[in-house]
Structure 1
Amino acid sequence: MPVMHFRVQWPDGTEANCYSPSTVVGEFFVAGQRYALGEFVERAREALNIGSERVREKYGFACSSAMDQLARIEEHAQRFATDPQAEVKVIELL
């Protein structure tokens, strides 16, 4: 399966490289676009779940790396959950 990485900038300016087991993430994010924190997490959740299911369809098991990535995104997003103005920028899709 073709994997895709996406680099994001969190509200505090830190950057993170994220993993998707599928190019489906390109249907949920646009490079250079900023997303409200909650919207970013929801889009990431949907994209990574779809990617994991595509792995299941092809190989017979879900993608634990996608679920690990989602857990890291959700955990990191909690740091900014009290800020209603928090946004995440998708820097690039690789």
Structure 2
Amino acid sequence: MPVMHFRVQWPDGTEANCYSPSTVVGEFLAAGESYALSEFVERSREALQIGSERVREKYGFACSAAMDQLAQIEQQAEAFSSDPLAVVKVVELL
């Protein structure tokens, strides 16, 4: 199953490398695009859950790495949740 990594820039300018167990993330996020914080979290959640389910279908168990990545995204997003103008930029999809 092909994995995909995506690098994002948080509202404070820091960058993070993220993991998806499936290329499905490319259907939800586009390189060079900026998303409102809540939209980025929702798109990431949906993509990572689909990716985890694809792992379950193929191997019989969910992808814990995808759920760990989602938890990290949600935790990082919480730091910016009080800013209604916060955006996350997808720097690149790898």
Q: Give the structure-2-normalised TM-score.
A: 1.00
1:47-66 alignment runs, 5 A limit = 47-66=47-66
2:11 paired residue number: 11
Query: Are 1:34 and 2:61 an aligned pair?
Result: no
Where in structure 2 are there 5+ consecutive unaligned residues?
Answer: none
SS at match of 2:90: strand
Distance between the aligned counterparts of 2:29 and 2:20, measured in 1?
12
Q: Percent identity?
A: 81
CA distance in 2 between partners of 1:29 and 1:43 (Å): 7
Give the whole-Å Cα distance in 2 for the aligned partners of 1:67 and 1:60.
16
- Poorly superposed stretches of 4+, deviation over 4 Å: none
**Unaligned residue ranges in structure 1 (runs of 5+):** none
Separation (CA, whole Å) in 2 of partners of 1:5 and 1:51 = 12
Q: Over the residues paired in the alignment, what is the CA RMSD in angstroms?
A: 0.2
Equivalent-residue separation in structure 1 for 2:16 and 2:71 (angstroms): 14
Give 1:57 shift.
Answer: 0.0
